[in-house]
Structure 1
Amino acid sequence: MQDLNINILLPLYYTAKRALLSVGCILLVAIGSYAQQAPKVSSTLDTTTIKIGEQINFTVIVETDTISTVVFPDGQTFSPLETVEAFATDTTRKEDRMTLQKRYALTQFDSGLYKVPAQRIEIDGQGYFTDSTQVRVADVAVDTLAQKMYDIKPLMEVEKSHADFWKWLLLVLVILGVLGGLVYWFFIRKKPLTEEEKEALLPPYDRALLELKKLENSRYLIQDEYKEYYSELTNIVRSYLEEDAHVTALESTTDELIAKLEMLKDAGELKLDNDTLNQFRRILQTADLVKFAKSKPETSVAEQDRKAIEEIVIKTHDALPEPTEEELLEQAEYQEELERKKQKKRIAIAGYSAIGLLLLTIGASIAYFGFTNVKDTVLGHPTKKLLEGEWVASTYGYPPVSLESPKILRRQETELTPDMKASVQELQIFMYRDPDALFTVGTTSTVLVGEEEPNFEASIEAFIQNLEDKGAKNIITKQEEFTTLTGVKGIKVYGSGKFPVPEEKDLVQGEYSIILFGGKGFQQQVILTWLENDAYAQQIVDRILSTLEVKTEI
């Protein structure tokens, strides 16, 4: 029975053993495959000791699969060292593996021992870090015996560049030129006269004959429009008599007009015979019948009436006495006066158009940019000019404080008092102040005697006391932690109060901020003041604080 059981179990044992061996082999292959695909990250420095301003090469080497996505750090991630250039990535492939090499050129302009921070390399969304190393930046040896030393030269005033001014001036001139051209073209220039305007400028006699000729070539009679024909015929002759004979003919009836002509004839001012006047009366009466009684004469009669009116115009013109020199002079002066009035009218239209365009431009600007923005741009708001001007990025003092500001900060001459010399070894102050806008930005770098920790509370009290000594009142103080982009922590003290302004009797409401950093043996401060509710100043302050960096190792 036992031998039977052994004979049955032996095949099962060998089968299970072979299965376990197969599973083990599969696991070993999987583990080997995983070990083969794991990425490797390493870094090298070509040297660990440089002189001020020299460059070192920091190289990151990544070994991973060819299908992996690798993201290298970008920007100033090597602080306190500065990134001069990030070179293109060098890639080599071998089967299903690739090797990436990314080189960075780094430098530093202050002597000391600096730590190159570990860099984060992202591979397929997972972070891998390089090793951190130390670099020593040595001073450049200066032979003070062979080369004479000189004092630091004083600050020199640099004339402000007017390059942007010429661009704006050119733009304004172009706009004014375009506007002037449009005004001249549409309002001032003498436009070519139309045919109707040319006819209107003709003398009354010539104009009447021309209009009668046009009436002869019209289609009124062909289309049986006798009323329009006779209306135009009588208007031509009445207008001529009104202008040339100075008879109020347009508003007179037929009898009244004939009576006026007879009076001129009797007075010897109009030498017309009775037949001409009778013929003129007949034509006017025929016109009245056509216009008011819907009479319809023969076409030949209508044509003969037009010829008769033409002869009446000619006879009237010949019967009129020649104008005297005084009359001609009065006519010339009248024409000149008309031309002056037309010129004034064109200038007025051009002026109103320019004002309208200006108001339209201002209205559109206010609608798009807002009233306050347009007003401050036109009137020149002091902090708006600072905000939109060319900013300066620089480093001030030792220990260094780096920031961007709308103007360069100037070194302030300071002398240590005997009390200060007991605890302060060196004090450097840089400041820019715009008294009109109550805007101030300044930095202080203090090297203490010994390795003692800075007393931030004493510094804050001294700052508040200094404000009160200068006349500030109702100072409100708040405090919170401040952290730079690189992770350096400090203390931010801020608040508001009433501050004195030069040439102003009353105090003005303003705001302030003071940011303090420090460590053993040193302290750094950034001081800001500005007017309350000044949106442009607030934007300046926010931008300065966003770029603020300090070094906490000396």
Structure 2
Amino acid sequence: MLNKYFINYSNNNYTLLLKRCVLLCVLFVGFSTFSQTAPKVSTKIDTTSIKIGDQITFTVTVETDTTAQVIFPEGQTFSPLETVEAFATDTTRQNDRMTLQKIYALTQFDSGSYKIPAQRIEINGEGFLTDSTRIINVANVAVDTLAQKMYDIKPLMEVDKSYSAIWKILLLVILGLLIIGGLLYWFVFRKKPLTEEEKVALLPPYDRALLELKNLEKSKYLIQDEYKEYYSELTGIVRSYLEEDANVSALESTTDELIGKLELLKDAGELKIDDDTLQQFKRILQTADLVKFAKSKPDTSVAEQDRQSIEQIVHKTHDALPEPTVEELMEQEEYKEELEKKKQKKKIIYASVAVIGVLVISFAAASAYYGFTYVKDTILGHPTKELLEGEWVSSSYGYPPISLETPQVLTRQETKLTPEMKGSIKELQMFSYNSNQGFFMVGTTSTTLAQEVEPEFNKSIEAFIKNLEKGGAKNIITKQEEFVTVTGVKGIKVFGSGKFPVPGSDELIDGEYSILLFGGKGFQQQIIINWLEEDEYAQEIVDRILGSVEVKTEL
């Protein structure tokens, strides 16, 4: 139900919403005046010139009250210089004052002149920036070109791409197809060896009748006094033969009805058989009726003679039948072809059922292992799942830069500052990405203030929420907590959920949002993300983006 709404969410609508939110946020940014306080921050370095790969010692000294809480920067915050090691903080106390000393070992592997960036020191929650005017000169290592022979740069070498993973997948697919093909061949298409009963059933009626009479002769019916079974099988053989070869409905006919039908065929010239043979056949059928219904028991010799007589009757009947016409032979051939087509059709049906069965079993197994929703979305496709599994982009946006990893690159958004905003904002840079097929958006904003003052985040948050409500959002739930980047930079995370409007419709959809706010004297940085509620793929995307966020703390 929600898909039909968020699929229609266009890039222009997202961009307009992002601009309105951010512009109102920065409009309400408060300015807290900076006054000289008791804490004192100073820095020093042991040298301003090093060779490539050598290290310099950068020392930060803080003098403050013994009750103050001091937080030094951690991680790679000295870019373009690299932090080799951050030593433990050295603390000395004297009366109600204390001196904290933090030493960093820095290096650089490219020659040139580099400025040590200002570092943000937090004292009782207030930020203090160190001096950033120190220049470090990194010199090349001298190379004796006379003693060392120089060689041309070697050309690029083409390396064959590794297809090991593709080959593994192909081998698994081929193995699966071979297994399915083998099962289909063995159970459907393979010509199975015929059983004795099937071989007998394929014989012509005349040959089959003679064979069955020979088998009856070898039976133990007469030895075991099973005359009823003997005569039942004897008359069944001859009746089946007459029905198939002479086209006489013999199986369901009584003795008199069967003899009457044969006489009609004889009189019509369709069966050239003499009267003695008919009378002899009638007598055998009557004897069989007495044995089956009156429990009569003839001599064994009579029973054997009756079998021989039936064999002679089959011979005479076969000889008395006229040769089949060309039309009859063609009908028989068409009948055989029709039977073959039916068999082929059955094989195709069996094969289709087998393939469908394998697919159903595979789908069920995959659903049991990975989950039904994941398998369904993999087969049918899902917009945010495709974003999650696509190739991600790592980049920095704006100034001061915001570094993060996103499914797609963020594009710059043109913004115009109002005359009222120009008095407090020096520069505003916005970047965003909006999914064409999903209620998903990520954007960054870097704001440079006209004065070096601390931004008031609370006013920015209030402005953002008011702008959402003005746009038609309802039931907005807001939560707030501290957010720390991977390198230890602290910020504020505001997150929650609500019902957001769909452009061109009165419907509201359930969505979630998350805002990260960073800043210092003279600047503010924001990251805004919103996505569809209960979209597990979007939640994974958000977690991955938040885990990659990094910001610079200097202008």
- Give TM-score, length-normalised by structure 1: 0.66
Residue identity opposite 2:258 in structure 1: L
Give the Cα separation in 2 of the matches to 1:465 and 1:174. Answer: 60
Contact 1:49 1:135 in 2 (8 A): no
Question: What is aligned with 2:271?
Answer: 270
Contact 1:513 1:529 in 2 (8 A): yes
Unmatched runs of 5 consecutive residues or more in structure 1? 1-45, 59-77, 83-107, 121-129, 143-161
Residue identity opposite 1:111 in structure 2: P
The partner residue of 1:80 within 52, 69, 75 is: 75
Question: What is aligned with 1:149?
Answer: none
Question: What is aligned with 2:256?
Answer: 255
Give the Cα separation in 2 of the matches to 1:267 and 1:515. Answer: 105
Give the Cα separation in 2 of the matches to 1:297 and 1:543. Answer: 97
Give the Cα separation in 2 of the matches to 1:362 and 1:308. Answer: 65
Contact 1:430 1:443 in 2 (8 A): yes
Question: What is aligned with 2:482?
Answer: 482
Matches within 5 A, 1:503-514: 506-514=507-515
Contact 2:476 2:499 in 1 (8 A): no
Q: CA deviation at 1:393?
A: 4.9
Question: What is aligned with 2:143?
Answer: none
Alpha carbons of 1:337 and 1:136: their partners in 2 closer, same or farther (altered >3 Å)? Answer: closer
Q: CA deviation at 1:418?
A: 7.2
Coordinate RMSD, CA, aligned = 4.1
Question: What is aligned with 1:350?
Answer: 351
Residue identity opposite 1:135 in structure 2: L
Contact 2:86 2:104 in 1 (8 A): yes
Alpha carbons of 1:232 and 1:131: their partners in 2 closer, same or farther (altered >3 Å)? Answer: farther
The partner residue of 1:135 within 106, 115, 119 is: 106
Give the Cα separation in 1 of the matches to 2:260 and 2:398. Answer: 108
Determine whether 1:111 maps to 2:80. Answer: yes
Give the Cα separation in 2 of the matches to 1:534 and 1:356. Answer: 31
Aligned-partner SS, 1:476 = strand
Contact 1:475 1:495 in 2 (8 A): no
Aligned-partner SS, 1:432 = strand
Give the Cα separation in 2 of the matches to 1:136 and 1:354. Answer: 64
Determine whether 1:201 maps to 2:202. Answer: yes
Residue identity opposite 2:245 in structure 1: D
Aligned-partner SS, 1:80 = coil
Residue identity opposite 2:104 in structure 1: T
Alpha carbons of 1:408 and 1:370: their partners in 2 closer, same or farther (altered >3 Å)? Answer: closer
Give the Cα separation in 1 of the matches to 2:438 and 2:165. Answer: 24
**Segment of structure 1 superposing worse, 481-490 or 510-519:** 481-490
Q: CA deviation at 1:320?
A: 0.7
Contact 1:479 1:494 in 2 (8 A): yes
Alpha carbons of 1:298 and 1:79: their partners in 2 closer, same or farther (altered >3 Å)? Answer: farther
Question: What is aligned with 1:524?
Answer: 525
Matches within 5 A, 1:366-445: 366=367, 369-405=370-406, 407-414=407-414, 417=417, 419=419, 423-445=424-446
Aligned-partner SS, 1:454 = strand
Q: CA deviation at 1:549?
A: 3.4
Give the Cα separation in 1 of the matches to 2:111 and 2:398. Answer: 19
Contact 1:50 1:138 in 2 (8 A): no
Matches within 5 A, 1:122-521: 132-135=103-106, 141=112, 175=176, 178-179=179-180, 182-188=183-189, 190-366=191-367, 369-405=370-406, 407-414=407-414, 417=417, 419=419, 423-460=424-461, 463-464=464-465, 471-474=471-474, 476=476, 478-484=478-484, 485-501=486-502, 506-521=507-522
Contact 2:246 2:321 in 1 (8 A): yes
Q: CA deviation at 1:370?
A: 4.7
Give the Cα separation in 1 of the matches to 2:301 and 2:187. Answer: 48
Give the Cα separation in 1 of the matches to 2:353 and 2:82. Answer: 72
Question: What is aligned with 2:96?
Answer: none
Residue identity opposite 1:117 in structure 2: A
Contact 1:409 1:430 in 2 (8 A): no
Unmatched runs of 5 consecutive residues or more in structure 2? 1-45, 57-72, 90-100, 114-162
Alpha carbons of 1:421 and 1:191: their partners in 2 closer, same or farther (altered >3 Å)? Answer: farther
Give the Cα separation in 1 of the matches to 2:440 and 2:48. Answer: 44
Give the Cα separation in 1 of the matches to 2:170 and 2:452. Answer: 58
Contact 2:495 2:514 in 1 (8 A): yes
Give the Cα separation in 2 of the matches to 1:368 and 1:378. Answer: 15
Contact 2:496 2:514 in 1 (8 A): yes
Alpha carbons of 1:267 and 1:408: their partners in 2 closer, same or farther (altered >3 Å)? Answer: closer
Q: CA deviation at 1:165?
A: 9.7
Residue identity opposite 2:480 in structure 1: E
Q: Which deviations, in whole Å up to 9, do the C-alpha atoms of 1:160-217 show, x marking residues without a partner?
A: xx99999878866765665455445433455444332232222211211222222233
Contact 2:423 2:450 in 1 (8 A): yes
Give the Cα separation in 1 of the matches to 2:198 and 2:408. Answer: 68
Q: CA deviation at 1:344?
A: 2.9
Q: CA deviation at 1:313?
A: 0.6
Alpha carbons of 1:48 and 1:114: their partners in 2 closer, same or farther (altered >3 Å)? Answer: farther
Aligned-partner SS, 1:249 = coil
Give the Cα separation in 2 of the matches to 1:192 and 1:50. Answer: 89
**Segment of structure 1 superposing worse, 326-335 or 181-190:** 181-190
Residue identity opposite 2:489 in structure 1: V
Aligned-partner SS, 1:242 = helix
Aligned-partner SS, 1:409 = coil
Give the Cα separation in 1 of the matches to 2:207 and 2:88. Answer: 99
Q: Which deviations, in whole Å up to 9, do the C-alpha atoms of 1:212-248 show, x marking residues without a partner?
A: 2222333434444333332222111110000111111
Percent identity of equivalent pairs: 63
Q: Which deviations, in whole Å up to 9, do the C-alpha atoms of 1:414-454 show, x marking residues without a partner?
A: 45647566555554444322142110122233444453223
Question: What is aligned with 2:61?
Answer: none
Residue identity opposite 2:233 in structure 1: E
- Give TM-score, length-normalised by structure 2: 0.66
Contact 1:80 1:551 in 2 (8 A): no
Question: What is aligned with 1:540?
Answer: 541
Alpha carbons of 1:167 and 1:482: their partners in 2 closer, same or farther (altered >3 Å)? Answer: farther
Give the Cα separation in 1 of the matches to 2:167 and 2:418. Answer: 53
**Segment of structure 1 superposing worse, 316-325 or 345-354:** 345-354
Q: Which deviations, in whole Å up to 9, do the C-alpha atoms of 1:91-127 show, x marking residues without a partner?
A: xxxxxxxxxxxxxxxxx7x32686943479xxxxxxx
Q: Which deviations, in whole Å up to 9, do the C-alpha atoms of 1:454-473 show, x marking residues without a partner?
A: 3424543554566568x443
Q: CA deviation at 1:531?
A: 1.7
Alpha carbons of 1:340 and 1:139: their partners in 2 closer, same or farther (altered >3 Å)? Answer: closer
**Segment of structure 1 superposing worse, 450-459 or 317-326:** 450-459
Q: Which deviations, in whole Å up to 9, do the C-alpha atoms of 1:38-79 show, x marking residues without a partner?
A: xxxxxxxx999779xx76789xxxxxxxxxxxxxxxxxxx95
